[in-house]
Amino acid sequence: MHRPPHVLRRNGSVIRLVLSRRHGALLSWALGIVLGLHGGLAASSVSAASSPPKPALTATARQAAAFYKSGEYDRVLQLLQSVAPGQEPDREMIRYALLSQVKLGKPEEAFKLYLRLIPAGQPDDPALLRDVARSFILSRVRDSQEHVRIAAYTALAEIGDKDTLPLLEDGLLDSSALVRARSAEAIGRSGMAGHSSALKRTLRDEAPGVRIAAINALSDAKVSGITEQLTEIARIDEGPESIFALAGLYKLGRTDVLIDISNAATLPDPEVRMAAIGILGRLRRPGSLSILSQAVYDPHPAVRAFAAGALGEYGSPEGVAPLTHSLGDDNPRVRSVALTSLGRLALPETRSVIQPLLRDPDEQVRVSAIEAMLRLGDATAVLNAADLARHPDPSVRGGTAQALAVATAPKALTVLESLLKDQQPLPRLMAARALGKSPLSTVISPLKLGLQDSDAAIRIASAGSLLQALARTGKSGSSR
């Protein structure tokens, strides 16, 4: 039984507007997962990874340590506040105070102490920074504002942390269908789907998008005991959910259902066709390429876009011809997705068909052309990105940030840093997320700035990206 809805404060946030629109299209979001087109907490939930070291402590620091170990976090903070003005507190006292703020679910205050402990220009403490970043996310999973909870569970899905399973299962009971779907996705990415009985119960959720997310997570993990439920869904459902159930059965060994999925790619319902095409792209079966290639001629533009995306997911050079055809589609969304797929194929010979679309009349198509050129290793596309990063439309600037996530040229970081300081929240949000996916090695410092953003959702996104960056570095020393 779901919790009653929370009362939401409405302050005109662009992020809230974007998320509310997505809330009205949960099923489309669930279909998009197949292709990647979208493209205060209890102390026990906080990581203890950064246990304080044990050098020789001053008397005050020993007292702080004693309070911390006994769970008297407020008293640790009182000790710090009792330091006389003009006197610098002991570093270990600051560390214990920081960890106390983390335990109390106050990441903003913890980060202020981190900056006192690790001034600018000094090597970061990865373990300590990791705990602070986790706190930014975990402290917001029960926020009264839906868009903040969505941001928190989105971050959890991206980092795939096994330690958060109880929290993710709690999210399956949220009043928001988007939060529940994100929770199901996060459980799947954490590798814990096989250990979650709550996720199995989500197969009976009232929202189709949530049930689809659960089907994907459970079948990807090859969880036993769901075959009967999936068979029943495939038998009685007439919409996209039945196709996802068939895909789940295929992953569990029922290879005979592939023909049913293939046949669904030509059924009258466009949403069913999209689901089937997306799944065929992901399954990458040899006989499916012809179906995907034919689907770029579908009368429905959304289906053609899914076909273009599925060809990129399929990953065969034989997809170049139908994707090149899609570059001439009247619908800008189709052209945009086709460009993204050509970039994913990473074939140098496609440069000649991608480059002209850097001058496409549609800005979002130009953004996708930039991403495709960057995937081909063309660093000059960063100049095109820098131009679009000054576009008056915040959605174009946000899309530009997303495209720069694949850039390897150091100059891309300068553009992302400028977008992280944008006046509108959407470009800042997309820049924060892009930095988490960026292959560049110098993203820690800008993400630390993102932790100080005025918007809670952007602080959460920055924290999630920071955790991804720290996981990539895997260093015990400097993370700058």
Cα→Cα distances 364→15, 185, 333, 385, 398, Å? 19, 27, 8, 11, 10
pLDDT at 111 over 60: yes
pTM: 0.85
pLDDT at 18 over 60: no
* HEC sequence for 110-149: HHHHHHHHCCCCCCCCHHHHHHHHHHHHHCCCCCCCHHHH
pLDDT at 192 over 80: yes
59 pLDDT band, cuts 50/70/90, is confident
84 pLDDT band, cuts 50/70/90, is confident
Integer Cα distance of 187 and 164 in angstroms:
9
Residue 298, burial from CB neighbour count under 10 angstroms (0-12, 13-18, 19+)? buried
What φ, ψ does residue 14 adopt, rounded to 5°? Answer: -60, -35
Residue 48, burial from CB neighbour count under 10 angstroms (0-12, 13-18, 19+)? exposed
Integer Cα distance of 321 and 305 in angstroms:
15
- Give the contacts of 76 (CB within 8 A, at least 6 positions apart): 64, 67, 68, 96, 97, 100
pLDDT at 29 over 90: no
For the segment 105-121, the average pLDDT, to the nearest whole number, is: 95
Tell me if 83 sits within 8 A of 113, measured CB to CB: no
Integer Cα distance of 88 and 295 in angstroms:
68
Range from 2-11, 25-34, 106-115, 118-127 carrying the lowest mean pLDDT: 2-11
pLDDT (0 to 100) of residue 83: 86
pLDDT at 37 over 90: no
Count of helices and strands (H, E) across the chain:
28, 0
pLDDT (0 to 100) of residue 53: 52
Integer Cα distance of 422 and 210 in angstroms:
33
Integer Cα distance of 367 and 328 in angstroms:
16
The pair of three-digit structure tokens given for residue 182, joined into one six-digit string: 């994100």
Cα→Cα distances 3→16, 162, 171, Å? 21, 25, 10
The pair of three-digit structure tokens given for residue 196, joined into one six-digit string: 């979650």
* HEC sequence for 28-58: HHHHHHHHCCCCCCCHHHCCCCCCCCCCCCC
pLDDT (0 to 100) of residue 86: 81
Integer Cα distance of 436 and 447 in angstroms:
8
For the segment 437-451, the average pLDDT, to the nearest whole number, is: 95
The pair of three-digit structure tokens given for residue 379, joined into one six-digit string: 């660093």
pLDDT (0 to 100) of residue 224: 85
pLDDT (0 to 100) of residue 303: 98
pLDDT at 98 over 80: yes
For the segment 83-91, the average pLDDT, to the nearest whole number, is: 86
CA angle centred on 48, ends 79 and 154, rounded to 5°:
115
Q: How does pLDDT run across 347-357, given as a tens digit for each residue?
A: 999 999 999 99
pLDDT at 463 over 90: yes
Integer Cα distance of 167 and 142 in angstroms:
10
3 state DSSP class of 377: coil
Mean residue pLDDT across the chain: 89
Tell me if 419 sits within 8 A of 428, measured CB to CB: yes
Residues 243-256 as b or e (16 or more Cβ within 10 Å = b): bbbbbbbbbbebee
Percent of the chain with pLDDT over 90: 80
The pair of three-digit structure tokens given for residue 162, joined into one six-digit string: 């096994």
Integer Cα distance of 114 and 467 in angstroms:
16
- Give the contacts of 306 (CB within 8 A, at least 6 positions apart): 31, 35, 37, 273, 274, 277, 278, 295, 337
